[in-house]
Amino acid sequence: MIIGGFAIAFVGYLGLLNVSRKYDVEQIPFSYFIILSVILRLALIPAFPNLSDDLYRFIWDGYLIHEGINPLTYTPRALIENNILSDKGLTAIFPLLNSPDYFTIYPPVSQLIFFLSTVGGISEVTTCSIIIKCILLVAELLSLVALFKLLRLLKLKVTNLMIYALNPLVIIEVMTNLHFEAIMASFFLWTLFYLIVKKHILSSFMLACSVAAKLLPLMFVPAVLMFLFYHKRWKNYLAYFTLFTVILFTPFFITLDIPNFFKSIDLYFQKFEFNASIYYLLRGVGKFLTGYNQIFILGPLLGLTTLLLILKKVYKSKVKSVLELITVCLFSFTTYLFLTTTVHPWYLIMPIALSVFNPRWYIIAWSFLIILSYSTYANPDYQQNLYLISLEYLIVFGIMFTEKKYNFDKPFNQPIAG
C-alpha cells in the first residue's frame, strides 16, 4: 500500500521534474511548481506521523526539560523505575518509546524544538506534532529560498530547485514523519550561501547550528576548511565555528552528562542496523567466519573508514570552488550512507538537497527505492527483507557506476550564460 502510493507520487514527481525544466525562472509556470511544493507541505501538517514513532521520544525529551531534567541524565526506563517523574503523563508515553533504555541522541537545536512543542503539556500528542511540523515547514521554506539564491549565485539552472522541492521522499519524511534532517539541511544550505557572499561569521554560525540540529554535518568541516584555506580565512572561520558550537552545546552539557551522550552515539554504531549495504555484506562474511554478528567491530571500523575516505577526498579534490565543495560534501555524505550500519529513508534528505547543484540520477533513484525498507514494518517481528534491500542497492550502485562510466557524474546543469 505504502510502496504503491509512493510509486504513483514518484512517477508524478519525475513528470513534473521534466516539465519544470522547460521553463525559466521568470516564467509564470515555474512559479506554479514552487506554489505546488508549498501546498503539498501545508496539506500534510494535519497528518499524524504513522510511519515513525520518533515523535514520542521528541515529546519525552521536551517535557523532561520542562520538568528541569536534562534528557542526558537518565534513560526513560530509569526515570520510570525510580519514580522520578512528578508528572505521570509521561507514563502513558513510555510504552510507545522505541529506545527506552538509551540516553537521548538528539543535540541542542533539536531539544529546543522538543521543548517548544511541549509548552502546552503532553495531553495532546497531535498538537505537539503540529507545532513541530510548523517549525519544519519554516525550515523547508528557508531551504527553498537558500537553494534559489545559491543556484542564482552559482549561475546554475534555477529549475533544478524542483529536485528537492517536489521530491516525495523529502515531503513525506519531513512533513509527515517529522524528521529533523530538514533543519540540518536548511542550516547547511545557508552555511554555503554566506560562505559565497563572504559573510564568514554568519556562515560559521549556520554550520554550528546545523551540527547542533544533527551531528552529521561535522563530516563537512574538513571540506569547508580546505575551501577557506585557499582564501586565507580558515583559522578565523574555525575559531568562530568552535565558539558557536561550544555556546550551543553548553546548555545541553551543563549537568556534565557528556559521557551519556557519547555512550548513545557509540551504541548507535555498535547495536543498530537497518537497510545497510556494504555493512550487511561484511556482516554476512563475519557470521560465516565466526558464527556471530561482528557489529561491535564492524560499526566503529566502518566509521573510521568513512572518516579516512572523506579526508582523502578533501585532500585530493583541493576544494578551490564552491561547486567542488558541494561535490565533496555530497561524496562525504553518500560514503557515510554506504558504509554505515543504519540507513533510514530520511537520511537521504541532505544528499537530495546537495544534488540540486550537481544532479545525480542514483540519488534520485535511491530516493524512490529506499521506500522498500518500509517493508520491514509489515513484518510483526520487524525482520528486514534482505531480498528487497539487495534489489535496492543493486539498482543504486548500478546507476551510480553507469553515471561514472559514461561521465554522467558531470553536472548536466551547466552554468547558464551571464
- Distance between CA atoms of residues 79 and 100, nearest Å: 10
**What's the pLDDT at 409?**
46
- Distance between CA atoms of residues 179 and 175, nearest Å: 8
Helix residue ranges, H only, 318-372: 322-339, 349-354, 361-369
- Distance between CA atoms of residues 167 and 162, nearest Å: 7
- The residues spanned by each domain of the chain are 2-257+261-405
The CA dihedral of 398, 404, 405, 411, to the nearest 10 degrees, is 130
Rg (C-alpha) for the chain, rounded Å, is 21
Q: What secondary structure letter does DSSP report for 414?
A: P
**What's the pLDDT at 219?**
97
Q: What secondary structure letter does DSSP report for 342?
A: B
**Cβ contact 140:182 at 8 Å:** yes
- Distance between CA atoms of residues 164 and 144, nearest Å: 8
User: Nearest CA to 137 among 258, 39, 8, 70?
Assistant: 39
Helix residue ranges, H only, 154-233: 162-165, 168-175, 181-196, 200-213, 221-229
- Distance between CA atoms of residues 251 and 247, nearest Å: 8
User: Nearest CA to 215 among 258, 192, 238, 249?
Assistant: 249
- Distance between CA atoms of residues 162 and 139, nearest Å: 16
The packing angle between helices 54-66 and 108-117, to 10°, is 80
| Diameter of the chain measured on Cα atoms | 67
**Cβ contact 342:354 at 8 Å:** no
End-to-end CA distance of the chain: 47
- Distance between CA atoms of residues 148 and 306, nearest Å: 31
**What's the pLDDT at 115?**
94
Please list, in sequence order, all residues whose beta carbon lies within 8 angstroms of the beta carbon of residue 62, skipping any fewer than 6 positions away.
111, 113, 114, 115, 116, 117, 118, 128
**What's the pLDDT at 103?**
86
User: What residue has cell string 560499526?
Assistant: 299
- Residue 342 has phi, psi (to 5 degrees) of -135, 125
What is the residue-level pLDDT of the chain in tens, covering all 418 positions?
678 889 999 999 999 888 877 776 556 677 888 899 999 999 999 999 988 889 999 999 998 998 888 888 889 999 888 888 766 677 888 888 988 988 888 999 999 999 999 987 766 788 999 999 999 999 999 999 999 999 999 999 898 999 999 999 999 999 999 999 999 999 999 999 999 999 999 999 999 999 999 999 999 999 999 999 987 789 999 999 999 999 999 887 776 567 777 666 766 666 788 999 999 999 999 988 888 888 888 988 999 999 999 999 999 998 989 999 999 999 999 999 999 999 999 999 999 999 999 899 999 999 999 999 988 876 767 788 999 999 999 999 999 999 887 765 454 444 443 3
**What's the pLDDT at 417?**
35
Q: Which three cell numbers stand for residue 129?
A: 506534532
Please list, in sequence order, all residues whose beta carbon lies within 8 angstroms of the beta carbon of residue 247, skipping any fewer than 6 positions away.
208
User: Nearest CA to 82 among 74, 70, 90?
Assistant: 74
